[in-house]
């Protein structure tokens, strides 16, 4: 069977229209190999979070293909033995996402034996522990304040810091951020806040006293990572060390972010629909109110017009009586003029004529 071939421009169009994991499967290669090919042919790749933004209709930045490239134009894919597509049959969404993360060359999942260029938040909590200030003890468990949500014994704390430093850096490469507020730590995925913590598992023991016994926590040496809240999830040392479960943790966090974003989308749509209904109801109610106000104004104006007609009839009767009796004088003429003007001012019909 011939190896699949395509042009550099066609591959560029493909990587900007299809996720690398899916594209790699189509060409029977791996995500990392596909990245190497793109680098070789100087083909730019979407940044972290590009496909999530596409999924939720967010604006994205597309990097143009460099037209000054002088290398070969035809791209050749060589099938690999035991390639990724053979591993993705009948896999769950979290397994597929975990596999994608493990094949993401930008993400380092190996926790080092010592901290190397640690994240500033890791430095902060390390300084707190070393200084002996800014934390409280619960038995032999150290619980720093206003820092990353990490609690452990002095013996386990360095390991917890290395684990969290690796996790923070991996999340950053995947396009996510981490925030701390009110002694809580959150991973931000698709604008959704997921509360997390890292702690050493502890057990409560009885401490005998001179007059009475008390209890306190003692570390077990077992390190765990937790998603807090209603949809809680815990990973801990077992058959696999916590450090070996990083890809699964990140995959679960991303799926949780997607789930919450979908819930937010549905919720926002529901409330938008409710607001639209309320707006229509308000408009109908306002229209009814306007109609009542218009009718009341019509009724009031018609009454005033009828009253103005009666006033004019009275003025004419006064004027006629004065003329028949020979009593018409300057003062009465002035009154008739004033009375007619007052009737015109009172008559809404006359005001309408003026407006027209």
Token pair for residue 208? 């005998």
Of residues 78, 84, 77, the one with CA closest to residue 102: 84
Phi and psi torsions of 222, nearest 5°: -90, 120
Q: What per-residue confidence (pLDDT) applies to 315?
A: 93
Using an 8 Å Cβ cutoff, are 166 and 101 in contact? no
pLDDT of residue 354: 55
pLDDT along the chain (356 residues), means of 10: 69 90 79 84 88 83 88 68 41 82 88 92 88 77 85 91 95 93 91 94 78 78 93 92 94 94 94 96 96 95 94 93 88 93 90 61
**What stretch of H or E contains 203?**
strand 192-207
CA distance 129 to 157: 9
Nearest alpha carbon to residue 23 among 84, 106, 74, 75 = 84
Amino acid 24: pLDDT:
81
Nearest Cα residue to 182 out of 227, 143, 146: 146
User: For position 30, what pLDDT does the model report?
Assistant: 77
CA distance linking residue 35 with residue 84, whole number of Å: 14
Residue-wise pLDDT for 81-125, tens only, equals 333 343 444 567 888 888 888 888 889 999 999 998 999 999 998
pLDDT of residue 130: 81
DSSP string, 310-352: HHHHHHHHHHHHHHHTT---HHHHHHHHHHHHHHHHH-HHHHH
């Amino acid at each position: 069977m011939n190896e699949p071939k395509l042009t550099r421009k066609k591959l560029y169009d493909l990587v900007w229209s299809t996720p690398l994991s899916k594209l790699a499967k189509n060409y029977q290669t791996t995500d990392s190999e596909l990245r190497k090919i793109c680098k070789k042919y100087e083909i730019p790749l979407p940044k972290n979070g590009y496909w999530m933004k596409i999924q939720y209709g967010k604006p994205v930045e597309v990097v143009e293909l460099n037209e000054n490239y002088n290398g070969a134009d035809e791209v050749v894919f060589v099938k690999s033995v035991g390639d990724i597509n053979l591993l993705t049959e009948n896999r769950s969404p979290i397994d597929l996402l975990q596999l994608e993360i493990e094949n993401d060359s930008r993400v380092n999942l190996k926790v080092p034996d010592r901290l190397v260029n640690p994240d500033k938040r890791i430095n902060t909590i390390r300084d707190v522990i070393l200084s002996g200030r800014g934390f409280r003890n619960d038995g032999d468990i150290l619980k720093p304040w206003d820092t990353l949500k990490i609690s452990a014994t002095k013996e386990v704390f360095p390991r917890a810091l290395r684990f969290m430093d690796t996790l923070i850096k991996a999340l950053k490469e995947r396009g996510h951020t981490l925030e701390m507020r009110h002694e809580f730590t959150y991973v931000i995925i698709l604008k959704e806040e997921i509360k997390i913590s890292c702690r050493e598992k502890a057990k409560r023991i009885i401490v005998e006293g001179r007059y009475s016994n008390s209890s306190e926590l003692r570390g077990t040496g077992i390190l765990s990572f937790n998603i807090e809240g209603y949809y809680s999830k815990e990973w801990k040392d077992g058959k696999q060390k916590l450090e070996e479960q990083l890809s699964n943790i990140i995959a679960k966090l991303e799926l949780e972010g997607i789930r919450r974003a979908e819930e937010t989308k549905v919720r926002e749509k529901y409330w938008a629909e409710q607001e639209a209904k309320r707006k229509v109801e308000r408009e109908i109610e306002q229209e009814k109110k306007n109609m009542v106000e218009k009718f009341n104004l019509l009724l009031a104006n018609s009454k005033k017009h009828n009253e103005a007609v009666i006033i004019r009839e009275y003025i004419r009767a006064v004027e006629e009586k004065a003329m028949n009796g020979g009593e018409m004088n300057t003062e009465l003429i002035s009154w008739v003029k004033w009375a007619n003007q007052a009737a015109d001012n009172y008559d809404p019909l006359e005001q309408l004529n003026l407006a027209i």
